[in-house]
Homo-oligomer: A and B are copies of this chain.
Amino acid sequence: MVMEREISKAVISRLPRYYRYLGELLENGVERISSNELSIKMKVTASQIRQDLNNFGGFGQQGYGYNVKYLYTEIGKILGIDRQHNLIIIGAGNLGQAIANYANFEKRGFVIKGMFDINPRLIGLVVRGIEIRGVEDLEQFIVDNDVQMAALTIPKTKAPEIADRLVKAGIKAIWNFAHVDLVVPDDVVVENVHLSESLMRLSYRICSLQDQKKKEDKKKA
């Protein structure tokens, strides 16, 4: 019996970055690249690239390197970008609209099927050809449009309740921008984008750098 080795989270979180760099190479007409060249561009070790990719099979060839286009599409398959993901956005404020406006998503199989909001002033408006609806229709819309993903760009107070409704209606993935940790069943995945936490990390880093500098200056004096 072959034991399927679990692929580490660290590897997964690096894949999109490989994908991005390969996409750029592709745009620039680069046909092939060695792990070594790529490692210099990306500022990681060549061995890490090779080991990461080898988790999914040998995409390269000895003496040649990696075929950029092939590797690009293969990583795309691994990430599931070759499939279509039907997406709705809950919360049609600036953040929701920013996501809706990001055209590239559609290139990668993410199709925005609808936008929802509770604010009556927004309902009826059209963003990028998508009408903003009230949340009353949510469940029906999800079923009718075979939606499996939802971006949650609403305040944290409303998020858990809406998340429950989404899950009950059959949503399998939540892209959560609200500042709460959602509780969902095992077969639903949540990817958190906690902007305020990101900003705090930045704050920490800038402060610790400055403190360090101060200490060094003091030592000199």
- Which residue numbers of A lie inside 8 Å of B, CB to CB? 12-13, 15-17, 19-20, 42-43, 78-81, 83, 85, 93-95, 97-99, 101-102, 104-105, 108-110, 148-149, 172-173, 175, 179, 181, 187, 189, 191, 193-210, 213
Q: How far does the alpha carbon of A201 sit from the alpha carbon of B18 in the complex, in Å?
A: 12
* A and B contact pairs by CB, cutoff 8 A, 11 listed: A15-B200, A15-B204, A20-B179, A20-B197, A79-B203, A94-B98, A95-B98, A102-B195, A110-B199, A189-B206, A191-B202
Copies of this protein in the complex: 2
Which listed residue (B79, B187, B205, B208) contacts A191, Cβ 8 A?
A: B205
Given that A94-B95, A98-B95 are contacting pairs, would A105 and B199 also be in contact in the complex, using a CB cutoff of 8 Å? yes
Given that A98-B93, A187-B209 are contacting pairs, would A204 and B105 also be in contact in the complex, using a CB cutoff of 8 Å? no
Which listed residue (B191, B202, B203) contacts A198, Cβ 8 A?
A: B191
Q: Is the CB of A16 within 8 A of B197?
A: yes
Q: Is the CB of B175 within 8 A of A202?
A: yes
Which listed residue (B12, B196, B202) contacts A201, Cβ 8 A?
A: B12
- Chain B residue contacts of A210, Cβ below 8 A: 172
Q: Distance in Å from the Cβ of A98 to the closest Cβ of chain B?
A: 4
- Chain B residue contacts of A206, Cβ below 8 A: 80, 85, 148-149, 172-173, 189
- Chain B residue contacts of A13, Cβ below 8 A: 197, 201
Q: How far does the alpha carbon of A39 sit from the alpha carbon of B203 in the complex, in Å?
A: 25
A75 (CB) vs chain B CBs: closest residue = B200
- Chain B residue contacts of A193, Cβ below 8 A: 193, 195, 198
Q: Distance in Å from the Cβ of A216 to the closest Cβ of chain B?
A: 11
The 8 closest A-B pairs by CB, nearest first: A80-B207, A94-B98, A16-B197, A191-B202, A95-B98, A16-B200, A80-B203, A173-B206
